[in-house]
């Protein structure tokens, strides 16, 4: 890269933390509750622990090629032509994800808050900050994540404290009553949204971080903390809303925020709480977009990625408008297609890369 950007371990940890929460915070509780009922929180805990194994795989892979991004690793391992082909598939994957997230934030705002405002209006505004972030670069992005972190934590702790009066403990009984098949399916679903996308972070890790050793710790710490936040939120959804309600809602976390009411006076603050996931979804959308952007720049050996930003973002906004024709399509995609699709790139591909690298002694 011509203008090499360096971020600190602390910033990387925070990015990982917010990134792993990403969209999971809004969509995971509902489908998880449908699959593993009152045991959702256990499924999430198992998912977080298994994610550590996945991270080990990523870190081993990244450390084999400490000076390269994930795209460059693909090219190096698979050779020039096959490598470029696979890299393009990966870039499409990242790009599709970022436009899906744009669609997602738009439809959330439309369904829950402003039903008469067109989806495009939200998408345009949200895309604007993505574009701005891309122009300013990774360093600025990481610093903004650092600034968002205390805000997020404040809202999160606030949320947790004020929802506790609504907890009904019997909602999580009986414990461990789910059929094993459904339980495994729900762990897989949780991981596919929570930790599979962490593969994108290999575009940043480890070469843009100033200290490699502590960056590894930061990677683990970020995921663990993010996982903890999600487990807590899933448990709260089940405890306060109950299984059936959680599973029937499009966005259970939002409904949970609506429940906050202290003495019929301190209430109706859900829109403030919403800021929490606006932050995390921004972080995730940006990382997807950044992956696609830097990926394109690297496979075509362009010196500077800046000229690519505008055309790519126009495409991004356009695709976000046609990616899902309706909410049902989106939830079928999330619960059906998404798991094998993302697993191809975030589980199978890294394993292949590592094996081939070992065989070819790279």
Partner 1 sequence: MRKEATLLLLTVLCLLLSGCWSKRELNEIAIVVALGIDQLDDEYEVTVQIVNPGEISSKQPTSGRSPVATYSATGATLYEAIRKVTLLSPRKSYFSHLQVVVLGSEFAATDINPAFDFLSRDHEFRNDFNIVVAYETTAKDIISVLTPIEKIPAHKITNSLEISEKAWGSTVSVTMDDVITLQYGKDSSLALSTIELIGNKKIGKSQENVNQIVVSAVLKYRGLAIIKQGKLVGILTEEESMGYNFLTDNIKSTIEKITCPNGGDLATEITNTKTSLKGKIVDDTPKIYIEVNVEQNVGEVNCVIDLVTEQAIKKINEETSNVIKQKIEKTLHALQKNYEADAVHFSNILHQQEPKKWRKIEHQWATLFPDVEVIVDVRVQTKNSGTIKNSTFFLSKE
What is the binding site for partner 1 (CB under 8 A)?
111-118, 121, 128, 170, 173-174, 177, 241-242, 244-245, 248, 255, 258-259, 261
Those residues whose C-beta lies under 8 Å from the C-beta of residue 96, and which sit 6 or more positions away, are 319, 323
**243 Cβ contact list (under 8 Å, min separation 6):** 33, 37, 38, 40, 171
Do 276 and 152 meet the contact criterion of CB atoms below 8 Å apart? yes
- CB of residue 140 to partner 1, shortest distance in Å: 17
**Residue 302 beta carbon to partner 1: minimum distance, rounded to whole angstroms:** 22
- Report the residue number, 84 or 306, with the smaller CB distance to partner 1: 306
For partner 1, the closer of residues 278 and 347 by Cβ is 278
Q: Nearest approach, Cβ of 159 to partner 1 (angstroms)?
A: 18
Residue 108 Cβ, how far from partner 1 at the closest point, in Å? 11
CB 270 → partner 1: shortest distance, Å? 9
Q: Which is nearer to partner 1, 4 or 116 (CB)?
A: 116
- CB of residue 259 vs partner 1: minimum separation in angstroms? 7
Half-sphere exposure of 80 toward its Cβ, with a 13 Å CA cutoff?
2
Contacts of 346 (CB under 8 A, 6+ apart): 54, 196, 197, 198, 199
- Give whichever of 2 and 116 is closer to partner 1, judged by the CB atom: 116
Exposure of 281 in the CB half-sphere (CA atoms within 13 A): 25
Radius of gyration of the chain (CA): 20
Please, which contacts does 324-331 make with residues 24 or more away whose CB atoms are closer than 8 Å? 324/100, 324/103, 324/107, 327/107, 327/111, 327/250, 330/100, 330/103, 330/104, 330/107, 331/31
- Closer residue to partner 1, CB minimum distance, 54 or 123: 123
Residue number with CB closer to partner 1 (53 or 116):
116
Cβ nearer to partner 1, comparing 65 with 108: 108
- When the beta carbons of 78 and 183 are compared against partner 1, the nearer one is 183
Nearer to partner 1 (CB atom), residue 214 or residue 250:
250
Q: How far is the CB of 328 from partner 1 (least distance, A)?
A: 14
Phi-psi region of 345 (alpha: psi -120 to 50; beta: other; left: phi over 0): alpha
Nearest approach, Cβ of residue 173 and partner 1 (Å): 4
Least CB distance from residue 243 to partner 1, whole Å?
8
* Residue 212, C-beta contacts closer than 8 angstroms, at least 6 positions apart: 63, 66, 206
């Amino acid at each position: 890269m011509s203008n090499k950007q360096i971020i600190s371990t602390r910033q990387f940890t925070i990015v990982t933390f917010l990134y792993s929460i990403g969209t999971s915070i809004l969509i995971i509780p509902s489908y998880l509750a449908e699959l593993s009922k009152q045991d959702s929180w256990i499924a999430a805990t198992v998912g977080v622990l298994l994610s550590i194994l996945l991270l080990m795989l990523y870190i081993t892979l990244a450390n084999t090629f400490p000076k390269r991004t994930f795209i460059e690793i693909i090219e190096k391992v698979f050779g020039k032509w096959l490598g470029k082909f696979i890299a393009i598939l990966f870039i499409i994957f990242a790009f599709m994800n970022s436009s899906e997230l744009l669609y997602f934030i738009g439809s959330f705002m439309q369904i829950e808050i402003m039903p008469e405002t067109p989806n495009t209006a939200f998408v345009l505004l949200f895309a604007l900050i993505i574009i701005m972030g891309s122009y300013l670069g990774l360093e600025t992005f990481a610093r903004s994540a650092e600034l968002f972190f205390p805000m997020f934590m404040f809202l999160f702790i606030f949320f947790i404290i004020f929802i506790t009066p609504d907890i009904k403990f019997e909602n999580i009984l009986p414990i461990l009553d789910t059929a094993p098949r459904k339980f495994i399916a729900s762990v897989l679903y949780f991981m596919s949204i929570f930790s599979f996308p962490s593969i994108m972070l290999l575009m940043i890790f480890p070469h843009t971080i100033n200290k490699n050793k502590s960056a590894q710790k930061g990677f683990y710490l970020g995921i663990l903390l993010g996982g903890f936040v999600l487990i807590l939120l899933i448990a709260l959804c089940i405890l306060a809303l109950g299984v059936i309600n959680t599973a029937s809602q499009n966005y259970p976390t939002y409904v949970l925020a609506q429940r906050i009411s202290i003495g019929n006076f301190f209430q109706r603050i859900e829109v403030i709480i919403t800021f929490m996931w606006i932050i995390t979804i921004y972080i995730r959308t940006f990382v997807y977009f950044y992956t696609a952007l830097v990926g394109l720049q690297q496979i075509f050996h362009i010196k500077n990625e800046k000229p690519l930003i505008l055309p790519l973002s126009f495409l991004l906004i356009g695709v976000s408008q046609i990616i899902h024709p309706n909410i049902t399509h989106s939830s079928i995609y999330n619960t059906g297609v998404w798991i094998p699709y993302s697993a191809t790139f975030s589980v199978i591909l890294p394993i292949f890369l590592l094996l081939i690298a070992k065989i070819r002694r790279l």
